[in-house]
């Protein structure tokens, strides 16, 4: 049984090229304190997932990804290790000499293997460099199978005015372009208005072509590619606060962006495959579906009209920092199929979202004691859950399924 949901119908904005398709927004958060208490005690009836430990002993693992059958774990201080191997033998890349990880949200934050990694050996990383800047670099594999720390080519350097909200996710989209999540620059309340300022690369999802140009090219259909006065050409979507984790559905190419909230709401945004870019996800006008600053809501004439609302959100009674996950597309556990799993760093709760027609149904899948730093996916579609304390888990079907 799915708990009673407050379902709001809202338009998920698509550009005219794909038509105005209506979808629904499912409000994840319960407003009833009694429901919140019940959720702490047990997962919702019918929950399908549980956690199986895979390997422990990692130092602040913050991301997991794969290249073919090989699975890699990113450690925040600046090391990428192969899952399944121990000690020095596991080290794939060590760039601690250039990674700053003083702040909780700084460090080596993710990696993405080129879609043709098997032939070109290129792996891309996002880390905090000197002066706290966000750096996106490419490294190349050596003949021994490890990445060469001396092969670094910096593609992008974005100065960060504060230590927090560095985004950090890299993903190759189904279009072959590299997507880069950028936070709003930090502090609180987006003092730079970076989310809505498209002259800034902060507070946005960027999209670049790493196969052309030096060091990269702008995809010609990026929303501001032909309108340089309207915004930076790298921007694909904006209005984001700290999109710590986003992912593509391995089957459909749909994009899920989890945006970390400030005071009240955590949210999941959804961008169906094939839509044009330029989505405005609302920050700092909105935090989830709520006005962030009351004064902004009193000036409706100033409010942008092009906002894309989240498909799901929850209140800070249920967590404090959303960690985006993955749509399960593995073959091994049919009961998990078609569910997007995500969690909360503070509460350890893991939810799933499932699309039914125009609605997104949600369910609490389990309550963990983990500090969920990230989810990850391998080539078989297995979904992993990372505990910042050092252990990698795999999502498996619960014994009753």
Q: Which residues bind Ca ion (CB under 5 A)?
A: 281-282
Q: Which is nearer to Ca ion, 236 or 281 (CB)?
A: 281
For tokens 């559905």, name the residue: 249
Closest distance to Ca ion from the beta carbon of 311 (Å): 11
* Closer residue to Ca ion (CB): 281 or 328: 281
117's CB contacts (< 8 A; 6+ apart) are: 67, 68, 123, 141
Count of H helices and E strands in the chain? 3, 28
Shortest distance in whole angstroms from residue 349 CB to Ca ion: 20
Beta strand residue intervals within 173-223, DSSP E: 178-182, 204-208
Compute the least distance from the CB of residue 286 to Ca ion, in Å.
5
Write down the least CB distance from residue 267 to Ca ion, Å. Answer: 5
Cβ nearer to Ca ion, comparing 107 with 282: 282
CA nearest 113: which of 182, 28, 74, 171? 171
Taking a C-beta distance cutoff of 8 angstroms, is the pair 183, 243 a contact?
Answer: yes
Distance CA 39, CA 189 (A): 30
Smallest distance from the beta carbon of 289 to Ca ion, in angstroms?
A: 8
Asked if residue 153 lies in contact with residue 137, where contact means CB atoms within 8 angstroms, the answer is yes
Q: How far is CA 199 from the centre of its chain?
A: 23
Using CB atoms, what's the residue nearest to Ca ion? 282
Residue 281 or 345: which CB sits closer to Ca ion?
281
Query: Of 72 and 281, which has the nearer Cβ to Ca ion?
Result: 281
Closer Cβ to Ca ion, 29 or 112, answer by number: 29
Cβ(209)–Cβ(216) under 8 Å? yes
User: Which of 345, 320, 191 shows the shortest CA–CA distance to 264?
Assistant: 320
Residues forming beta bridges with residue 165, ordered by sequence position: none
**CB 303, min distance to Ca ion, A:** 13
């Amino acid at each position: 049984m799915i708990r009673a949901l407050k379902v709001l119908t809202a338009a998920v904005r698509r550009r005219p090229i794909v038509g105005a398709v209506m979808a629904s927004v499912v409000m994840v958060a319960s407003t009833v304190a009694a429901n919140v208490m019940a959720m702490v005690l047990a997962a919702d009836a019918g929950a399908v997932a549980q956690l199986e430990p895979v390997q422990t002993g990692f130092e602040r693992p913050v991301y997991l990804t794969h290249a073919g059958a090989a699975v890699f774990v990113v450690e925040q201080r600046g090391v990428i290790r192969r899952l399944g191997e121990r000690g020095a033998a596991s080290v794939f890349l060590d760039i601690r000499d250039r990674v700053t990880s003083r702040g909780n949200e700084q460090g080596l934050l993710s990696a993405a293997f080129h879609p043709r990694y098997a032939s070109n050996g290129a792996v891309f990383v996002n880390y905090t460099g000197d002066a706290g800047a966000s750096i996106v670099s490419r490294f190349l594999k050596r003949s021994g199978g490890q990445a060469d720390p001396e092969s670094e080519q910096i593609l992008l350097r974005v100065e960060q005015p504060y230590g927090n909200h560095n985004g950090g996710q890299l993903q190759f989209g189904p279009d072959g372009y590299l997507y880069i999540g950028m936070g709003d620059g930090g502090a609180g309340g987006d003092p730079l208005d970076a989310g809505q300022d498209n002259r800034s690369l902060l507070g946005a999802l960027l999209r670049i072509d790493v196969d052309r140009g030096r060091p990269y090219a702008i995809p010609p259909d990026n929303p501001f590619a032909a309108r340089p006065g309207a915004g930076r050409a790298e921007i694909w979507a904006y209005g984001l606060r700290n999109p710590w984790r986003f992912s593509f559905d391995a089957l459909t190419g749909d994009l899920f962006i989890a945006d970390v909230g400030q005071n009240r709401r955590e949210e999941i945004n959804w961008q169906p495959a094939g839509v044009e870019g330029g989505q405005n996800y609302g920050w700092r006008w909105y935090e989830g579906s709520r006005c962030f600053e009351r004064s902004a809501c009193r000036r409706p004439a100033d409010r942008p009209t092009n906002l894309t609302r989240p498909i799901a959100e929850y209140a800070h009674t249920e967590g404090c920092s959303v960690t985006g996950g993955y749509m399960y597309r593995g073959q091994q556990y049919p009961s998990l199929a078609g569910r997007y799993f995500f969690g909360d760093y503070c509460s350890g709760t893991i939810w799933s979202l499932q699309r039914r027609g125009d609605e997104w149904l949600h369910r609490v899948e389990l309550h963990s004691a983990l500090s969920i730093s990230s989810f990850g996916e391998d080539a078989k579609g297995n979904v992993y859950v990372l505990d910042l304390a050092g252990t990698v888990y795999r999502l498996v079907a619960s014994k009753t399924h």
